[in-house]
Amino acid sequence: MYMVKNYSLIASDGEKLRVTTFCSLQEKSNKTLVFVHGFKGFKDWGFGPYIGGYFADKGYSVILFNFSHNGIGENLTEFTEFDKFAKNTFSREIRELNEVLDVVRNGFFEEISSDSKIGICGHSRGGAISLLTSSQRDDVNAVAVWASIAKLDRYSQRQKEEWRKNGSFDVMNLRTKQIMSLGVCLLDDIELNSNDSLNIEKAVKNLNKPLLIAHGVQDLAVSIDEAELIYGWSDKSKTELYKIYGCGHTFDVAHPFAGTTKNFEDLLETTDRFFSYKI
């Protein structure tokens, strides 16, 4: 059995991070798992709450949170904050993940031990943010990435020229059919920081901690080739590459959540086994 608590964490720039914790009712765990959602993702998407309960039952304290500019506001399951979504950047997400980790260490969550070992698990773009953040922190003990991207610059030169000309770049949410605009600030962030703080290859080579790379072989959103790239950059003595056959980007799980799947259960078991030995 576990308890669920919701928090509002005010970031250093005054923005709100909505956080949910899942913790055992018995005693404080010495293992904390932080889950990082991806692009057009959010903590309450599909498998999010199920992840929280699953790992809490396995003895972890679990933290799920929404980045402040992910497009989700008071309605926790639908996109309503399109203005903030347009102003989001990768550097903002790295800073906000760092601030979540900092408040764990500062004892902000009364049910989570401030000195617990920390594992980070990121999905899709959240995998990249997890790698970029963890490579700069000694207090993160291990990292797992699910269907992670290997590069943040995913746009052609022509797209970038149109982006700057129009002042925005439109993407469609295939689930809701909503058009969601990305501001030029995201493009600026890529071009200013792609060789330094947003360089995933450099981050993986400097990671120096256990890494699990899990990817669906039939992923059409992020190719399995990107998992291979990350693995190629990694320290093989500390890294596991887990390929899941017969599934795609969300491991056969949908939103709204309609139940778990065999492929997803295999992923959870593999991730639990990885973290149980590494943190």
pLDDT digits (tens, 9 = 90+) for 213-247: 999 999 999 999 999 999 999 999 999 999 999 99
The average confidence (pLDDT) of the chain is 97
Q: What is the pLDDT of residue 279?
A: 87
Residue 26 has pLDDT above 90, yes or no: no
- Specify the pLDDT at position 7: 98
pLDDT of residue 34: 98
pLDDT per position as a tens digit, 59-98: 999 999 999 999 999 999 999 999 999 999 999 999 999 9
Region 107-136 average pLDDT: 97
**d(C-alpha 20, C-alpha 8), whole Å:** 9
Q: What mean pLDDT do residues 190-195 have? A: 96
Please give the class, per CATH, of domain 2-278.
Answer: alpha beta
Does the pLDDT value for residue 137 go beyond 90? yes
What percentage of the chain carries pLDDT values higher than 90? 96
Residue 174 has pLDDT above 90, yes or no: no
* 3-state helix/strand/coil string of the chain: CEEEEEEEEECCCCCEEEEEEEEECCCCCCEEEEEECCCCCCCCCCCHHHHHHHHHHCCCEEEEECCCCCCECCCCCCECCHHHHHCCCHHHHHHHHHHHHHHHHCCCCCCCCCCCEEEEEEECHHHHHHHHHHCCCCCCCEEEEECCCCCCCCCCHHHHHHHHHHCEEEEEECCCCEEEEEEHHHHHHHHHHCCCCCCHHHHHHCCCCCEEEEEECCCCCCCHHHHHHHHHHCCHHHEEEEEECCCCCCCCCCCCCCCCCHHHHHHHHHHHHHHHHHC
At residue 254, the pLDDT reads 95
Tokens in use for 62?
A: 């679990």
What is the pTM (predicted TM-score) of this model?
0.97
106 pLDDT above the threshold of 90: yes
User: Which residues lie below 8 Å from residue 99, measured CB to CB, with a gap of 6+?
Assistant: 9, 11, 12, 17
